[in-house]
Amino acid sequence: MLIKDTEVQDKHREVRKIEETHEINYTAALGKARDRGHVGTVTNRERQMGTALDATVFMCRVRNLNPSLVLVSHPHQPGYANIFVNVLGVREYTGIACEDGVMPEWTVMGTREERVPIENRPGTYWSPVKTLGRVEVRGWRDVLIKLIHKGYLSLEAVEKEFGAGDRHSWAVLTGKHKGQPQV
């Protein structure tokens, strides 16, 4: 019988907590995507590209819905832009940033490797596991969801201008369905 000492058990608990803080484990997401018949995951650029929009075209369409929103290139980070709202002639930052070039329809996530302990091996045996990392390219639907959540746009107007998203995550994040966003 294999007995784990408290130090190893604590390491296992800590790693489990780290894994639980990640919304999606890369390998699990890949399996779920295959089960649902999808070819890729949120890390697959081709799948996430959908209907790509240039930032200026995107903002023209957003300004049709709310003319007080303005896209301004980021002064210190080339390739990024910030969305401001004009309030009584003064620009206020909305807290929302996006790409300053071509934006994919859906956000593209990167991956990173984490070391997790191997369950059936005592001591310090670790195995690398790919998990979701940070956002590589923010999609324009993600920007729309943020604008909806902050009250700058309405869901009805957005879906009339841009169309409804065809993914479960769109329905969940816009409040049309309950549950967790799926990959």
For the chain, the domains span: 6-173
Name every residue whose Cβ is closer than 8 Å to that of residue 18 and which is 6 or more positions away in sequence.
114
Per-residue pLDDT, 69:
92
Mean pLDDT of 30-49: 54
For the entire predicted model, the pTM comes to 0.66
146-174 pLDDT, tens digit per residue, is 999 999 999 999 999 998 877 777 888 88
Provide the pLDDT confidence category of residue 1 given band limits of 50, 70 and 90.
very low
81-130 pLDDT, tens digit per residue, is 999 999 888 999 999 888 888 888 888 877 777 777 777 666 667 777 77
